[in-house]
Amino acid sequence: RKKMTFTVLQLLNLMFNVFFFTDENCEDKPVFTPSRLVVKNNDPTSATCSVKNVYDIFSLEKSLGNHTRNATEILWKVQKMTEWEMSPMCYYELADHQCCSKLPITVYKPPDSVSFSFRNHSGPLLEGHQYTLQCEVHNVAPVENLIVTFYRGQTALGQLQSNNTEKKPVTEIFTLNINTSKEDDGVQYWCEAKLELGPEGPQPPIVLSSHQRIRATVLCESDSKQTHTSVFSQEVKLIICLRQTKPITHNFFKKLSLVIMLASFISSRHVSISFRNHSGPLLEGHQYTLQCEVHNVAPVENLIVTFYRGQTAVGQLQSNNTEKKPVTEIFTLNINTRKEDDGVQYRCEAKLQLGPEGPQPPIVLSSHQRIRATVLCESDSKQTHTSVFSQEVKLFICMTPSTIYLIYTYSTLFFKLVSSLPQTITDSTTNVPLEDCTTLHLKIMFFHFVFLFLSLMRFL
């Protein structure tokens, strides 16, 4: 019905213009306030049209909304802007002509999303090649007011604007060609869409960035021949670009060999630590051997292994093996335990030191195990061990002088109590011995020492 009404109004206006001269540049033409409207789709809006004098025919031609008129002013209101292209016309009529003004209206919709990609490409880039950046802006209006900027890191590479005059929401793709250089390696590429609607539009302008930021991996390539040497192992892919346009010297091959050695070391990613020929708790004052095993490394003579007690280095070792191919090497270090070592973590660290030509800082791998030591105390001279055996359990309790005195006091009171008991217990009705006193004493002693053990645990 609205479309039909609009069509009829246009037809009447056309017929009127055949007989009357319509002038948009007349001296006292109607004035709109504001002079331009920028409205978000589905939002309400309003404007006022005013004239200087009173005219018999003074009206507003529109396709949406309602208007009210007094002598020299018309108020136009829209509850919900549902049209994408409209321009209300305010006019008055004289005997020989019609004087009018039109209100420019821009209806906008922010983009739903912005996405970024490389057109027809995925994976690493080659140095010196041309690639196409692509920024796709979804469901935006009017697209001709959209400005898209491409970025390399925080540096703007270029700005593009559409020449599409469609007023309804569309999805538009913007592209920009770039030439890669080695300096682009690791740089993030992304794009940004800004809807620039002028001073009557939202301030600051609506800006939406791409949710993807693509980090470029650029592989070097000479302008002529090129050879790629690759080392693949699990997560490792090392590309070495050999530029044959430059003289290949002995120093070049030296650097190349170091890089290949490094790749071999990284690919192993396996360093383990253990106690040699021992498992379980450690005894205070005894000697044990830490063992660090580095798997599949070359050259092993460049490997430095450091043993740690917590964060303290307790020793550093280096192999005298001159084998150049990858080997698995075991490094050992003797330690003497103390009571203070109880609960401390032991670990080892392997560092491949390849000199100034190698990677800086050097690559370091730590053992994936960290052994937490349990140290049971033992004196070099006097010592008392109280042990309780139950299947596979052996518990050592180290007694200090104050602890021994505590046990002595409890034991004295206990044995005085036991000595006062009768030697046998008999049934009062049959006068038959039920249990030998020695057996009873042993049972009581067992529960007594359990109680002592629980008490001692509070002091140890």
Q: Residue 137 forms beta bridges with which residues? A: 114, 172
Same-domain pairing of 287 and 372: yes
Into how many domains does the chain fold?
A: 5
Same-domain pairing of 316 and 250: no
Same-domain pairing of 448 and 367: no
CATH at 16: 2.60.40.10
Alpha-helical runs (H) found in 238-352: 250-268
Q: How many CB atoms lie within 10 A of CB 135?
A: 23
Same-domain pairing of 179 and 161: yes
Strands 424-426 and 130-140: unpaired
State the Cα–Cα distance between residues 43 and 37, nearest whole angstrom: 12
Last residue of a domain, one of 349, 376, 403: 376
End-to-end CA distance of the chain: 93
Residue in this structure with the two tokens 């790629």, named with its chain if needed: 228
Output the pLDDT for position 2.
45
Is 366 part of any domain?
A: yes
Same-domain pairing of 326 and 403: no
Is 402 part of any domain?
A: yes
Q: How many CB atoms lie within 10 A of CB 62?
A: 21
Same-domain pairing of 395 and 416: yes
Is 197 part of any domain?
A: yes
Same-domain pairing of 125 and 208: yes
Is 335 part of any domain?
A: yes
Alpha-helical runs (H) found in 337-431: 401-419
Same-domain pairing of 336 and 400: no
Residue-range definition of the domain harbouring residue 213: 113-219
Burial of 25 (0-12, 13-18, 19+ CB in 10 A): exposed
Is 338 part of any domain?
A: yes
Is 301 part of any domain?
A: yes
Same-domain pairing of 16 and 60: yes
pTM over 0.75: no
State the Cα–Cα distance between residues 104 and 85, nearest whole angstrom: 10
Q: Kindly list the averaged pLDDT for each block of 10 residues, start to end, along the chain of length 460.
A: 52 52 75 94 94 88 90 92 92 85 94 94 89 96 96 94 94 95 91 94 93 86 40 36 44 54 54 91 92 91 94 93 92 92 92 85 86 76 40 40 53 58 49 51 63 59
Same-domain pairing of 182 and 247: no
Is 262 part of any domain?
A: no
DSSP for 355-375 reads -TTS-SSPEEEE-S--EEP-E
State the Cα–Cα distance between residues 94 and 92, nearest whole angstrom: 7
Name the nearest CA neighbour of 103 among 84, 90, 114, 119: 90
Output the pLDDT for position 234.
31
DSSP 8-state code for residue 37: E
Is 368 part of any domain?
A: yes
With beta carbons less than 8 A apart as the criterion, state whether 184 and 152 touch.
yes
Last residue of a domain, one of 326, 359, 376: 376
Same-domain pairing of 76 and 124: no
